[in-house]
Amino acid sequence: MPTCRPINRLYAAALIVLCILLLPIWPVYGLNADPSPSASPPPPVIPDSSSARKLLEQSLSSAEIEQEIERISAEQLVLEKKVPVLEAQAKAKEAAIADKKTHAAAILRAYYMGEREGLLASLLNAGSFSQMLALLDYYDIVMGADRDILGQYEKEYKSLRKATDAAKRSAEELASVRAALEEQKQRVAALNEEIEKGITSSSDPAGMSALLEEFSQYWENIGIYEVRKYFKALSSAMNRLPNYVQNEKGVLSRKGMTYTIALKDEQLNAFLASQNELLKNFSFRFYPDKVTASGTSGNLSLTVTGHYSIQEEPENALMFHIDQVVFNGLQLPEATCKKLEKEFDLGFYPQEVVSFLRASDVSSENGVLYVKLSLSF
C-alpha cells in the first residue's frame, strides 16, 4: 500500500498538466486608457457583403438605442421623484399665503371703494398744525402697513408662481420623457426584429450571429475608444488653430474693413501633423459645402464627413457639424455622431485671432476653406 501514494501523486500531476494544456484560450478585449492598434487585437474580419455590413450597422444602432433607453430611464426615475416634491411645495406655498391673499384683497378693495379717502380728508381738514402732524403720522403708519402687506404678498405670490411653474415644467418633461422612452423601445424592438430576420436569412446564421456578437464586443471595448482618441487629438489641435492662422503667411488677408481666411487643406493637414503624431496619417479635404477628414492606422480606418456653419450664441464661432462617421467601412449611428460632436469641439473662434472680429460667412471649394470676418461692433 505505501508504494501506491507516489503513483497516485504522479497521476494527479499528469492530470493537472493535461487539463491546463486542454483549456481553451479565449480572446480578451482589454480596456486601455490610450488604446493603439499595435496593442489592440485586430478587428473582426467583415465580409465583403452589403447585407452583412447592413446587419453590423444595425447592430451598432441597436446598441446605441439601448444606451439611450438606459439614459432616458434614469432621467425618468429622477423626474418621477422630483415632480411630487415640487407639486407638494407649490401646494404648501399656496396654503401659506392664503391669509396674506385675503388681507391684500381687503386693502385693494378699501382703496377701490374709497375707504382710505376719509384719512386723507381728515388730514386736509386738520384744525391745527400739531393735529395735522399727528394725522400725518397715523396716515403714514396705515399706508406703510398696507404697502408691507401688499409687498409681502407680491413676493410670496411670485415664489408660488415659480414653484407651480417648476412643477408644471417637470410634469411636462416627465410626460415627454415617457413618450421618448416608449418611442425608443419600439425602435429597438423593430430594429432587433429586422436584425433577427437578417441573421436567419443569411447563408450562415450561426456564423453571422457570432460575427455580430464579436464586432459588438470589439466596438464597445476598443472601437469607440479608437474613434474618441482621434477626435480628442483633433479637438486639441483645433484649439491651437487660431494662432496658426494669425501667424501663417497668406492665410489671413484684409480688404477695407473685411478680413478673409483662406485656409488650404494641405496647410491644415501640415498643421495637424505638427500637433500630434496620431494625425500624421489623418487628412482633411475641402469640397463645395462639405468637408471630409479621413485616416488609417494599422487595421483601423476612420472617415468623418461634415460641414461648417456660423454660430452666434452663446458666442460667435465657426462650428463643425458631423454628418457621418465611417469606422472600418461601417457607418456609425446618427446618435453616435451627435455624441461625438457634443463631446469634442472642432470649431474655430475668430475672436481668438483678432478680438474685434466675428465670422460672417463660411464656404469651401477646391481644397480651400473660406471664412469672411467682419467687425464685431
Are residues 247 and 355 both part of a single domain?
A: yes
**Would residue 322 count as lying in a domain?**
yes
CA gyration radius, the chain: 35
pLDDT per residue of the chain (377 residues) written in tens, 0 to 9: 444 444 444 444 444 433 433 444 333 333 333 444 445 667 666 666 778 888 888 888 888 888 888 888 888 888 888 888 888 887 887 776 666 656 555 555 555 555 455 555 555 555 555 655 555 555 555 566 666 666 676 777 777 788 788 888 888 888 888 888 888 788 788 888 888 888 888 888 888 888 888 888 888 888 888 889 889 999 999 989 888 888 888 888 888 888 888 999 999 999 999 999 888 888 899 999 899 999 888 778 899 999 999 988 888 888 999 999 998 888 888 888 999 999 999 888 888 877 788 888 899 888 999 989 888 76
Are residues 197 and 235 both part of a single domain?
A: no
Amino acid at 53: R
**Would residue 256 count as lying in a domain?**
yes
Are residues 175 and 249 both part of a single domain?
A: no
CATH number at residue 197: 1.10.287
Domain boundary (156, 181, 201) is at 201
Are residues 129 and 253 both part of a single domain?
A: no
Sign of CA dihedral 50, 51, 53, 58: positive
Are residues 64 and 185 both part of a single domain?
A: yes
Are residues 268 and 144 both part of a single domain?
A: no
**Would residue 132 count as lying in a domain?**
yes
Domain boundary (153, 185, 201) is at 201
**Would residue 137 count as lying in a domain?**
yes
Domain count, the chain: 2
The predicted model scores a pTM of 0.63
Range of the domain at 184: 50-201
Are residues 77 and 180 both part of a single domain?
A: yes
Are residues 151 and 282 both part of a single domain?
A: no
From CA 76, how far away is CA 178, in angstroms rounded? 7
Q: Give whole-number Cα distances, 336 to 5, 35, 55, 193, in Å.
A: 64, 19, 17, 22
Domain boundary (160, 185, 201) is at 201
**Would residue 222 count as lying in a domain?**
no
Are residues 191 and 334 both part of a single domain?
A: no
Are residues 157 and 118 both part of a single domain?
A: yes
